[in-house]
Amino acid sequence: MVRMEPRGLTSQEETENDDGDFRLRRRHPLTFSMPPLFLLLLLSSIHASAADDICIVGSGISGSSTAFFLTNYTAPISAQLRVFERRDRVGGRLATVSVAGDTFEAGGSVIHPRNLHVRRFADLLGLAARDDGEGDDDWLGIWDGARFVFSTLPPPPPGSSWLRRRLHALLNSLLLLRRYGLSLFRMDSFAQEMLKKFLLYYNDFESRPVFDNVEDMLKWSGLYGLTQRTLEEELIDAGLNSQTISELVTVITRINYGQSVSISGLAGAVSLAGSESGLWAIKGGNWQLAAGLLKTANATLHLQEGIDSISDAGDYYVLKSNKGHEYNCTVTVVATPLDEVNITFTPPVSIPPRKMQHTHATFVRGLLNPKFFGLSSVSDIPELIGTMELPDIPFSSISVLKKRNQHDMTYKVFSRAKLDDSLLAQIFSTREETIRIDWPAYPHYHAPEDFAPIILDGKHLYYVNSFESAASAMETGAVAAENVARLIISRLPLGLRASPLLSSEKRCRWSS
């Protein structure tokens, strides 16, 4: 056996000493969701072709999960796994920001309890949940630009009795029920219905096909229909009243996707699930998921090396990087949205136009100005301010991230446009530190949604983020990546003899 050094998060410079003959290598077939044994045997008997690299562009959760599943689902194959990342760190839209010595999530922040891949990644990588409950803001106020049209109760003081906390939760439920009535339950069952279907993506291989396009993948689970109508249309049909849609639901879609209830129904249902209880995050930052997965997969990481072009050279692709290097790759996986990056494909690939919704995340250490909200004291301002879809409201949400004391807090503000200093001076009475991040955050959702192909060229150029047009989240990235990994394994161009065994790993051709 070839000796291998752990390769995790080393840069290209650090790995160039190695002999370059790195193999994906594993001793035991594994239990993540066991690939059929024949596949393992088949793959291990395949001879390497001249260019046998598998190259992944992007080190976010999609790229790192693809690397992880490729190694987790295969026996030793003769291929080098390369991951290219144009920035100087891994994680992409999972990143932390540091304000006055505290670390907060700047991008993707909360994980739903039923996000099973992410849950298992965290367990496998030994990553703990953070204990300060980000995403736990239960003092919600809904702002219409002039006043809070609805608020829940301020939280009971820390250290309150169990009874006091139960009572508080009960009163909040009653307040919500009084304003929104049965629509609350209808909203919840709409999200639950989606989650139930989404859980099918964790079925074992025998009962879950490999998909070569997003439409089939969504039709198989019964979720496709939700992408063809707006959330608003879906919720009206589900019997929600208009007040619930324009207040509570709108607040949730604006927080999660920076958009209104005219987003597609599936993205909407994912937002609604993202407002349930039990949400959690990784202690020290969710980006560690990506770092850990890349390490576990022994991927060779090329940090600060952006891919400028991907050219079909017959049996392989030539990837050219902004460092002037060239790589021959048998398989190439694009694991970043292509909408705002500048990769030249030869021959060109055709994908439907998609716009990314920008979310400006502004972190402020200071104190909100109660007068801006028509209140007399800061302590009257809800800890999570959600907003309605009205033209004059300059932000989507404001949440308290940390309370140092009554005069020193850290807030996160989401907005669609940059918040300039004069606006911040109105919203905040004091401001000691301000950090602004402009994210190309997630697709701008609409209905009916159309999808880019997963296989961009009919050959071995794959696109994980075509699934992001269904819904953008850490878990959807992992689910899309898992399917792409299986698809690659099922189609590996390794001079396979026609094997009767391979036919049981059929790709799904959904006929509707």
Ligand X SMILES: *[C@@H]1O[C@H](CO)[C@@H](O)[C@H](O)[C@H]1NC(C)=O
Residues 317-336 that bind ligand X (CB under 6 A): 326-328
Instruction: For residue 148, give both structure tokens.
Output: 């809070």
Strand 344-346 vs strand 397-405: parallel, antiparallel, or unpaired? unpaired
| Residue 298 binding target from ligand FAD, ligand X, none, CB below 5 to 8 Å by type | ligand X
CB nearer ligand FAD, residue 303 or residue 367 = 303
The shares of helix, strand and coil residues in the chain, as percent rounded to the nearest 5, are 35, 25, 45
- The residue range among 84-92, 187-195, 290-298, 387-395 that interacts with ligand X, by the rule CB under 6 A, is 290-298
Instruction: For residue 319, give the 3-state DSSP assignment.
Output: strand
**Who's near 203: CB < 8 A, 6+ residues apart?**
none
Q: What is the spatial distance between Cα 69 and Cα 67, in angstroms, rounded to a whole number?
A: 6
- Under the criterion CB under 6 A, does residue 31 sit at the interface with ligand X? yes
List the beta bridge partners of residue 431.
366
Instruction: Of 152, 423, 75, 122, give the one whose Cα is nearest residue 292.
Output: 122
User: Is 388 a binder of ligand X (CB under 6 A)?
Assistant: no
Judged by beta carbon distances under 5 to 8 A according to partner kind, the member of ligand FAD, ligand X, none in contact with residue 120 is ligand X
* Nearer to ligand X (CB atom), residue 277 or residue 342: 342
What's the closest the beta carbon of residue 239 comes to ligand FAD, in angstroms?
28
Cross-strand bridge partners of residue 331: 54
Q: Quick check: 4 binds ligand X (CB under 6 A)?
A: yes
Q: Does 50 bind ligand X (CB under 6 A)?
A: yes
Q: How far is CA 287 from the centre of its chain?
A: 11
Q: Is 296 in the site for ligand X (CB under 6 A)?
A: yes
Query: Is 469 one of the binding residues for ligand X (CB under 6 A)?
Result: no
| 3 state SS of 22 | coil
Identity of the residue numbered 10: T
Nearer to ligand FAD, 114 or 197 (CB): 114
Rg over alpha carbons for the chain, rounded to the nearest Å, is 24
115 contact partners, CB below 8 Å, separation of at least 6? 473, 474, 475, 478
For ligand X, which stretch binds (CB under 6 A), given 26-34, 144-152, 274-282, 330-338? 26-34
- Counting contacts by CB under 6 A, is residue 26 touching ligand X? yes
Q: Would you tell me the crossing angle of helices 162-180 and 183-198 to the nearest 10 degrees?
A: 100
The stretch near ligand X (CB under 6 A) out of 20-28, 392-400, 428-436, 461-469 is: 20-28
285 binds, among ligand X, ligand FAD, none (CB under 5 to 8 A by kind): none
329 binds, among ligand X, ligand FAD, none (CB under 5 to 8 A by kind): none
Query: With respect to ligand FAD, which residue has the nearer C-beta, 226 or 335?
Result: 335
Smallest gap from residue 422 Cβ to ligand FAD (A): 24
| Residue 61 touches which member of ligand FAD, ligand X, none, C-beta under 5-8 Å by kind | ligand FAD
Phi, psi of 258 (to 5 degrees): 60, 20
- 57 makes contact, choosing from ligand FAD, ligand X, none, with CB < 5 to 8 Å by partner type, with ligand FAD
Between 307 and 492, whose beta carbon lies closer to ligand FAD?
A: 307
30 binding ligand X? (CB under 6 A): yes
Q: What is the Cα–Cα distance from 128 to 121, expressed in whole angstroms?
A: 11
User: What is the layout of strands, in order, in the sheet containing 384-387?
Assistant: 148-151, 140-143, 384-387, 397-405, 408-415, 356-368, 428-443
- The alpha-helical segments, DSSP class H, found in 297-449 are 421-427
What residue ranges bind ligand X (CB under 6 A)? 4, 6, 24-26, 30-32, 50-51, 71-72, 120, 124, 296-298, 326-328, 342
